[in-house]
Structure 1
């Protein structure tokens, strides 16, 4: 009804503008047949179109490739939405522990990706029966749509073949962040879950340390068996690795199979 009223007013103003030879008034938007939002980006559209039709069908789990549009860069915001989505999907299938495997964001120039990757990891760390496929060594700097899809698909398939179908015996993670212990101007980084030992790809790079409240390059980084030792010039307040959108050129840590170590951020708690 409001649209019809607005359109009638528009026609009157348009006729007057034509008579006066003045700029035409803006035309009111016609209501969308999808709903009041008037856009395919409104809440529930993708769910109703892509997920709801499968409710009730037998499924072993979910494989989900992240939509980069949700990368806000606000700490915790993506994690909150992500957890809500996972719970909603599991509730629809009435399986609170239904397997859910997702692809962590690849490399791309959007600086907000770093925080989103960390939020994804925190959800992986918190929820049960969720697994994360790290792809920070893939992607295109200027394009949201990575071309190297084969390697990503293989990692997703290997995760499902290992976790659900038990066809692959080895764990399918690269080095996953565990903890950082601080001792003066040094930080000792530990990873877990990976196969074999840490392997460096060229020089150790992509690390930053926090000193006097600022993030700077470390003085020295070295591998000690399955750990990393990072040294600064002053007492360290934090350590981070590949904390940027376009991280691909600096990916330098892998396991023996070539799976990349994830990016992370750690800040020392105040005494």
Structure 2
């Protein structure tokens, strides 16, 4: 009997395993709440047992197919107009119902951190927008960061469709949400956002293997990282190096060595110096890496105590740990996020309170970024924290070599995050990227143009609209000789690729922040481009003036532009600024410029035989004010090669 029972058990296990192999399965994109592209054929695909019959039902129509020997299947739905919600049924050895499907317009939202940046990061700027973000017809699918250097993936490991609500919208890409919101308010067509963006990623990480072969160095890199042992050895070595660096710093830190640590409420400071915050400690003669402690006593009014408050500490280079009255209040481990710490009721007390910040800097200048918020806020009351702080060095260390971000290597993000999407029909792409390529601006036009062509080839949908953001103004830690202006020029020249549009943002960045908060205007300017290139609106002004040609007239140069709208203007009524002119020596000097009809005439008394003009050719071209009368800024440009 025991033998028979064992055989039956084994049979049941085998039967269960066999049946599980036959279970029909869908890719993660095809799931509850999805948005599918209107007015085109839509593929529905998945996996089941080999040679199994699969039936798909959608909007009263049946679609039947049989899986391949590998267990793959696919059907093609006939085009549908915008609408919904609908259900989709898949029948094989099991039954799946995909619920609450909308038919509308699907946009891939990709690039690096300025596309990835979520609404949560801009919630102080847009509280009313977030509070009113209840729209079941705007939906977002977030792809977590994944990489693969061996082959394109056919699915993604996680993610789900979410409709916009005040809670869920905090996870939406801010740029993409404002883009979708603007389009929905105009067309009332459901919008689906596929957010495949990774902070810090260079363009080459998003190219397929086929496209990478045009760029030998990038192709070589992708092949190197297809070896798991290479990746494992780098990760292991750098993890060990970083652990040793931080542990050594902790052991050497004088702030922890005494009987009472420097953050403790009972610690009495001795031998501390004074520094004005915000600012960098190198400006005070501390050309060091390591740990510097900061301390400030502030008076808190009784009206703020007894209830939750928020501590704003701008941005800190590189990482910080904060203590209020000896109690740990929060920590952020890298430089870019804004410091916004939630303080529970009871942590602050009436009268004197002590704030201590332990700052670790591993490279570059350590300290506090200027022109940011440094304050405690509760309701409508606030306490300013700028000004004199005490400081003392805790430990000094050698700079920490940069970490290798494997996901940034060529081809890895395409295989893992774009390849799984290419069977899913889309309306187009919005793209915000380039900051990570400023070191090679001369290659960017070729890289970016290849990326656009490559993605269109992968989707097999012709020249769908590819709309992108030109880099905003920014100058923190960037020299005058950096690649920012040249990268913007490469982006401008990429407009030669058919059915592309560029949103100019040279006027809405922040000199001290790689991640400017004004994502509303970015989204709206992308939406204007979509109205032109995706919705084929006529007689709209969809971008600012774009340089077209020049003509030398004695000691002056006359410039012509496209997209002048109802006319060129100098915003603010001032004289045109940020124009420069050069002779044959290519030494550019500030120039005078005036608008004459739809032309701009440029000259300088010091250049008698001009050959070239540049406009807004700087990292942060303050005062650049050439616009069209519709309020859209001119793109930076140069006339020389």
- Determine if the alignment matches structure 1 residue 118 to structure 2 residue 489: yes
Is the CA contact 2:433–2:469 (under 8 Å) kept in the aligned structure 1?
A: yes
Match of 2:450 in 1: 84
Q: Any stretches of 5+ residues in structure 1 without a counterpart?
A: 11-36
For 1:89, what is the secondary structure of its paired residue? helix
For the pair 1:250 / 2:623, whether they are aligned, the reply is yes
Please name the residue that 2:465 is paired with.
99
Does structure 1 conserve the Cα–Cα contact (< 8 Å) formed by 2:501 and 2:533? no
Unaligned runs of 5+ in 2: 1-227, 238-403
2:640 match: 267
Distance 1:162 1:128 in 2: 13
- Superposed, 1:129-208 pairs within 5 Å as 129-166=499-536, 169-201=539-571, 202-208=574-580
- Write out the 4+ residue segments of structure 1 that deviate beyond 2 Å after TM superposition: 72-75, 165-169
Provide the TM-score with structure 2 as the length reference: 0.35
CA distance in 1, matches of 2:229, 2:529: 53
Q: Distance in 2 between matches of 1:104 and 1:162?
A: 17
Q: In 2, distance between residues paired with 1:108 and 1:67?
A: 13
Q: Which has the higher contact order (CA 8 A, sep 6+)?
A: 1
TM-score by length of 1: 0.79
Q: Give the aligned CA root-mean-square deviation in angstroms.
A: 2.3
Does the alignment pair 1:237 with 2:604?
no
Identify the match of residue 39 of structure 1 among 406, 412, 423.
Answer: 406
Q: Helix, strand or coil for the counterpart of 1:87?
A: helix
- Taking a change above 3 Å as real, the CA distance of residues 184 and 71 of structure 1, as seen in their structure-2 partners, is same
Give the match's secondary structure for 1:257: coil
1:101-135 deviations in Å (ceiling 9; x for gaps): 111111111431110111111111x2111111111
- Alpha-carbon shift at residue 217 of structure 1 (Å): 1.4
**Which structure has the larger Rg over C-alpha atoms?**
2
Counterparts in 2 of 1:265 and 1:183: CA distance versus 1, 3 Å:
same
- Equivalence for 1:27: none
Is the CA contact 2:434–2:487 (under 8 Å) kept in the aligned structure 1?
A: no
Question: Matched residue pairs, number?
Answer: 233
* SS of match in other structure, 1:188: strand
Partner in structure 2 of residue 68 of structure 1: 435
Q: 2:426 maps to what in 1?
A: 59
